[in-house]
Amino acid sequence: MHFADGDWTTAQLILPVLVGLWLAGLSYGDLRTRNIPAWATTLPLALMGLLRTAVVPPDGAIVPGGVAVGFALLMILLSDRPSAVYPAGVAAFCAGLSGPQAQVLVGSWIAALVLVDLNIWGASDGKVFAVLTALYPDVRLVVTLIATLLIGGAVTLLSQRHHTGERRTFPAIPWLAVGTGLYLASSCQLSVLSFQ
């Protein structure tokens, strides 16, 4: 599930295509209506959470990597209640014991949830971000996604600079799709270079 290290297989080539199609569909809906059906983001998030907990845990071990993701899932399930901080704390602790993949995954899920709760971005944006970091728990993906969102915010502010006194929003999922494309392209490039 981690493509930056080379060793490409058919599954590793098909998965980016599926992710691309999923992001393209979501981007189309986001650009049209600024709303995405909940199932289109919640089902992939639940699937990736369960896979990362029990089947393909981050850093290659269910204890503590898979356990960290399991508690991060519990945090999301309890996210309407203050008690969500307890599974979040356990998830962060287990991720700290695990390795960089679990740390990136759990850290980005906590950040996505906090950004949604603060109404900085929509719940669909947060779930797409969480699914992408579960698929590719790599700090380079997180940096690329944040950079593309910064560009998206700057473009929106510059293009709407004459509008005053209103909340200026932009569809974030197309920018997340661009960031994912850049990351996958650079990972492929790194992978090719590593064979030389």
Partner 1 sequence: MHFLRGTQAEADAGIVLIAGLVLLCLVVLVACAATGTSLGGL
DSSP label of 105: H
In this chain, which of 6, 25, 37, 89 binds partner 1, going by CB under 8 A? Answer: 37
Binding residue for partner 1, selected from 19, 23, 26, 132, defined by CB under 8 A: 26
Helix (H, G, I), strand (E, B) or coil at 109: helix
Residues 6+ away with beta carbon under 8 Å from 109: 72, 75, 76, 91, 130, 133, 134
Sign of CA dihedral 155, 184, 119, 102: negative
- Please say whether the dihedral angle defined by the alpha carbons of residues 182, 43, 172 and 174, taken in this order, is positive or negative: positive
The answer to the question of residue 113 lying near partner 1 (CB under 8 A) is yes
160-178 in b/e burial notation, b at 16+ Cβ within 10 A? eeeeeeeeeebbbbbbbbb
Among 9, 119, 164, 196, binds partner 1 (CB under 8 A): 119
Asked whether position 153 contacts partner 1 by CB under 8 A, the answer is yes
| Torsion, Cα of 18, 20, 21, 24 (10° steps) | 160
**Residue among 3, 23, 44, 45 that touches partner 1 (CB under 8 A):** 45
Interface with partner 1, residue 103, by CB under 8 A: yes
CA 172 to chain centroid: 12
Closest CB to partner 1 among residues 48, 173: 173
Kindly tell me which of 12 and 99 has the beta carbon lying closer to partner 1: 99
Contact call for residue 186 and partner 1 (CB under 8 A): no
- Nearer Cβ to partner 1 (62/78): 78
9 binds partner 1 (CB under 8 A): no
Under rule CB under 8 A, residue 172 binds partner 1: yes
Asked if residue 152 binds partner 1 (CB under 8 A), the reply is yes
Decide if residue 92 touches partner 1 (CB under 8 A): no
Hey, CA dihedral for 79, 21, 146, 174, is it positive or negative?
negative
Binding site for partner 1 (CB under 8 A): 26, 29-30, 34-38, 42, 45, 76-77, 79-80, 100, 103, 107, 111, 113, 115-127, 139, 142-143, 146-147, 149-150, 152-154, 156-157, 160, 167-173
